[in-house]
Every structure is written in C-alpha cells, then in structure tokens.
A = this chain, B = another copy of it.
C-alpha cells in the first residue's frame, strides 16, 4: 500500500516530493506515459535503480509456450506476452568521474510531477556527487498524443556550485534484464532476451536499432535523434557508438556554475509483422525527423491542445472530496493514454503501464474502459472496437475448435488467439463474447455513428449471436438456458444460468437482431434470414433468470444460494482468497470475488424491480470480497441506485484510489485501467444515475452527503451534454450545433433540451429500503463519511 500522504492532493497533477526506493516500481506505473501506441514506464532517466524497466508497443508480443500438467483438447499451446522493447528513455550522466545515481552521493531534493493537462512528466533533482559536485537535473518527458510514433525528453543539467565536466550518454538498449516476477499467477511471465538484432544504423547524432522477436517473428525499430543546446562557454563533443542490442550518443562538455547543458532526445518507435527492416528503419527515422521539425516546445504545445480538447468534454468536477477529484482525473488521463492512439490494437488491462497480465486485453476493456471512452472520446472507443473486429476470424476458428457455431472471443489475448491456460476461468467465461458485442451496440447507440456497425460491427454481432444460439438451449421448461459456463465472478465457475451471462447473451441477441433489421442488405450478405432473427429474439425473450422464491432474491446462478457458506471470519487476514484457498473450495461456496449479479443489475437493470435490487444487494454484499479490481465501481453504482449513497461513495473512492494507494498490492506491474475507468463509472453512472442499456439515455442524479457538487459532460450522438448536480437539483446544458435538441429521461421523466438554455430539475431523492449492508469482516470499504 502507498500511504495516503505520498502524493499531495492537487486537482490537476500527481506530485512526488520524495524518492522512496521501496515504491519505485509503483511510481514507475503511476507516472507512466503512453499514447496507446507507445508506453514508457516512469523509469528514472539514468536507468538505475529501477523497479521494472518497461517500454512497450501496443500489440507487440512474443510467444510463450503454455505447459499443462495434464493437457486436454483445445488448450492453447502458447500465450502471447508483451515485450519490453528497446529502451529509448535512457540518459546516463557522469559528473566528473562519477555516475549520477541516487543511491550514491546525496539527493538534496527530488520532485516528479505528472501534469494531467500538459501530458508531461517532469522531474527535478538536486544532487551532489560523492565528490561533492552539485548539479540540478531537470527532465521533461512526453509520449506524443499527436505524433503517434514519437516520444521526447528534454534533459537539462545545471552546474550549481562548482565547475563540472559532464558526459551525457543517451542510449537505446534492447533486451534489458527484467527482474523475475513473483509466483503470483496474476503477474506476467518473465521472458529473457526476446529480441534478435536485425539492423543498426547511425548518423552523428542518431541511432536506429531494428529487432525481431524470436518466436512470434514480429519486427520493431527504435530510433533516437538529439539536439544539444548549451547556454555557457563550453564546447560540446559528440560521439556515437552502436552494437546489435545497444546504441549510444554521448555529449561531453564542461560547465561553469550557473551554466546548463540541455539535450533534447526524440524517440521514434514502430513495429510490423510484414514490413521489411529497412522500411521500419526509415519509418521510425522519419517520425523522429518530423518530431525534430516540430521541436520539443511544439510537441508540448500540441500535447496540451490535444488534452484541452479531451478535458473539455471528459472532465469531472467534484466538490467535497478532493482526493476523488484528483483520482478521477488521474484515472481519466490514464484511460485516455491507454486508448488514445491504439488504432487497430487492443487496450490491455494495464494499458501500457507495466507487464502485468502479460499485456493481455480482457473483458475489462469492453465492459469498463469502453463505456468511458464511448461517452468521452468515442474515436478511441472506435479504435478498440475495430481491433476486436480484426480478430473475428480467430474467434470464428476458436468457436469451431470448441464445437460451436459463430464467434467465441478469447478470455485474454494480444493478437486474438485465446491465451488462457486455465479453461474453467478462461474459455468457460463466455460472457466475454457478449461483452464485446454489447460494446459495439453501446457505441452505436451512444454515438449515433453507424460506421463501426457497417464496417464489421454487424458481422460481429451476427457471429456472436450465432455463438449464443449454438451454446444456449431451450429446456423442458421452454426457457432459454446457458449451461456449464463461468460468469464474471471468478470465485464461482462452471455453473448453469449465470444471471449476468444470460442477460448479456440475451442483450447480444437483441442487439444483433436490431442491427440486422437496421441493415437488411448487409445482413442478407451475412446469410441472415428472417427466421434466424426470429430465433434470436425468441431465445432472448425466453431467457432464464434463476430466482430463489424462498429468499425472494435472484440466484447468481442456478443453485448458488444452496451452496455452503464461506467462513469469512476465519479468512479475515487471508485476502486475496485465491492465494490462501484452493479453487476447489472457493468455487463450491457462497463467496464472490467481484460484483456479478450486482453487475447484471447495473448493466441490465430493467430486468429487476427496485425491491429485487435492494434485496439482492442485501444478500450479495456480505458475500462479496472484492478480490478483483473490477468490483468496487460496480458496487458503487448499484448502491447509489438503491439509495445507499454513503456506501456508494466509499466504493467510488476505492475504485478511484486503487493505484494511487496501491490497494491491490500489484500496481507495480501496471495500473488497473478498468478500475480507473470505474472511478468515472462510479461517479457518472452512480451519482449521475446514467443508464443506456434499454436503448435510451437516462439520468437520475443524487449525491452522497459529503459531495456537494458533481459536474461532468457526456457525448451523446455528437452533442455534449453538461450535467451539474447539487444535492437538490441538476442543471443540464446542451452544447454543439445551434439547433440541436436532445430527449432523455431525468429520474424517469422525459426531458427535452436544446442548446438555447440549460434545464434545471429537482433531484428525486431515493432512500434505501433496507439497512446499509455489511461486507465480509475486514473487507469493508474505507469510509468517506467523517
């Protein structure tokens, strides 16, 4: 855990004022920069000390064999692991004869600032070498949102008290040693030396290294070029070295006190499965040349403009909880970084902030990250959806291998193939297929843009619907069932009729039917006939939702409420449970890792009455241990809906602070994008009461006592709708287009708004019908009500 005081609470920045080497790996994740294509962990410029060195290119992976103690049919033979690519961040410094290394000499001051509006990471250190020479090092780093292949660092050294001789060595290093990760199955597999050198080229100030992964056969190039500016009397001497895994440009000069040496390093990255090494070399060198033309200040200016545009329609303002204010912006910034320029690649569960989960994309993206992007940065959502469509062929193959029709999407992947080596929690978690399809449906609904649907989305909806029809079946009760699958709750597996899965599948079927009707010609081209559409609708209409009439609650899956209870008291200090108990025992008891039925009530709320929701929360909260980062935000939303607003506030805080406080003890491996997105979800779906799954926009705002005001903007069909909530009323403002109007629901009542004037409506207060539910002992969220 990171102490609450580690980062001062500021609205638009995360600031570190003390270098704690114990938390180095966590800070490398928190301060990571990315544009969705390139990701650079916040390793110190000089490379050492480090927690986990990390430079990543989205979609660039190595194959890793998956072993099985007892193999069985259709187990994936290999996984894909994100590769720590050639490190271009490295700038070493010698002060006289001694390397700048914070473990030696004396650090007089240290500050790092992640500026959420500038999109830069600034570091300022004052350091004396062991020989007593004092320098101030200031570096500013960015990964450009506007120039996708480019990152840049402005590195400045100032002599303070004495004359110094400086050597600045700017490097590219491939195949860095990566520390062995622990035995925790959640962590990525370490891969040693995955890159084989292909080509090296140099000029007097630049180096390009081209490498190829050994098993997956992907090629990448990293280029660096430099500008060196000295403001003093010194002459700068340069030198360039290159080797297969390594390139170095050195600058040597002497400074008098008060003089500065400034080096601007431009980095270009690219990778390809098909392009030649020469083409890759030229492409990255070209990116660097373009960036140099823009200049470092120009890159910073573009960066700020890009972010101004983002924040204009995405910002969330909170009065009454400054920590959440900071955290939700931090989260939105990282969600943007993860998706902004992914363009045809998936958004990994940890973005490009670390090697956790092998760099895989899960349903986290479709169900947690994409709702945020769809409402705030729809073009980034579209990129991620189009990537999913590029993997449809592999999903069709996978379904065929498994014995089904249509498309079965993977539990975890980088390139589209199933990479899960434990099928009961991977292949069996079929809801991922509906989650993906429903993300397409939501995109079309929210944006009004049907280009994604026409350009592959319909095909994906049709093929996923076909999958559900071959997986589900009509029972002798004439209900439509889905048997033998695993729902979102990873502490329950291989069950019948998981409510979330059944409703997600039904939604998938309904969405496919509607899309096919919207595009009859395209649908016919895909072989869809009226009869097939009618079958989809019939299955969705007959979907079975298990209910326990004795307790008057829904069963998470058939038979769930008949299972033995977990002994939570005995597990008080044994979380996450999966590290202390076998799945054998966990699966067979009423213990829930993450919101499952609660998620169903959030996503498909119209299938439940208000009383059902209240009783269900009352039953499931004491059995939900939140060992997954996908839980707190969902619990925030459903608790807000049923009037447990203070509890919702506590959960929202947990979702938002997950990484800033390292609540899951694994932020070192990368940030939890779904939970960071979930902070927005908790506020906007929770306290804003936003819903869309029944096909229209509705809001039903209400704030917890400690939050006095919540303002946010959402994009709906090309318009920006501002929502400004206080305890008593909500003001809606419509922007964009002089004549636009928008119809939506406010607390169940229809509202029409135009751009001429805001509309202010009273908050319709909801009060909880049941007492605040308990959580398992030791798993209560931190309380925000003082």
Q: Is A550 an interface residue (CB 8 A)?
A: yes
Stretch at the interface among A65-73, A611-619, A624-632: A65-73
A433 to chain B, nearest CB (A): 13
State whether the Cβ of A582 lies closer than 8 Å to any Cβ in chain B: yes
Q: Which of A404-453 contact B (CB under 8 A)?
A: 404, 420-425, 427-428
User: Taking A403-B581, A496-B559, A582-B403 as contacts, is the C-beta distance between A484 and B70 under 8 angstroms?
Assistant: no
Q: Is the CB of A475 within 8 A of B562?
A: yes
CB-nearest residue of chain B relative to A65? B69
Knowing A562-B475, A588-B483, say if A70 contacts B403 (CB, 8 Å).
no
Tell me if A587 and B494 are in contact (CB < 8 A). Answer: yes
- CB A11 to nearest CB in B, in angstroms, measures 41
CB contact between A589 and one of B66, B475, B484 (< 8 Å): that residue: B484
A666 to B404, CA, bound (A): 30
A422 in contact with B481 (CB, 8 Å): no
A494/B494 in contact, CB under 8 A:
yes
A478 at the binding interface (Cβ < 8 Å): no
Report if A768 contacts B (CB, 8 A). Answer: no
Q: By the criterion CB–CB under 8 Å, are B588 and A485 in contact?
A: yes
Whole-angstrom distance between the alpha carbons of A558 and B496 in the complex? 11
A582/B73 in contact, CB under 8 A? yes
Q: Which of A69, A404, A483 has the most CB of B within 10 A?
A: A69
Please provide the chain A residues from 645 to 697 with a CB less than 8 Å away from any CB of chain B in the complex: none
For residue A80, CB closer than 8 A to chain B, the reply is no
In the complex, A454 has a CB within 8 A of chain B: no
Point out the residues of chain B lying under 8 angstroms from A420, CB to CB.
69-70
Give the residue name and chain of the B residue nearest to A558 (CB).
B559
- Of all chain B residues, the one with the shortest Cβ separation from A570 is B403
Closest partner residue, chain B, to A404 (CB atom): B585
A531 within 8 A of B: no
The verdict on A494 contacting B493 (CB below 8 Å), with A402-B584, A578-B73 known, is yes
Question: Are A69 and B67 touching (Cβ within 8 A)?
Answer: yes
Expressed in whole angstroms, the Cα–Cα distance for A248 and B66 within the complex equals 44
Q: Closest CB-CB distance, A492 to chain B, in whole Å?
A: 9
Residue of B whose beta carbon sits closest to that of A485: B588
B585 and A72 contact, CB distance less than 8 A = no
Q: Does A185 contact B (CB under 8 A)?
A: yes
* Contacting residues, chain B, for A185 (C-beta < 8 A): 70-72
Q: Contact at A562–B421, with CB atoms within 8 Å? A: no
4 shortest interchain CB distances as A-B pairs: A69-B421, A484-B588, A67-B67, A66-B69
If A69-B422, A70-B421 are given as contacts, then 11 extra A-B residue pairs at C-beta distance below 8 Å, sorted by A number, are A68-B69, A69-B421, A74-B584, A402-B585, A427-B582, A476-B550, A481-B564, A485-B588, A494-B587, A558-B559, A559-B559
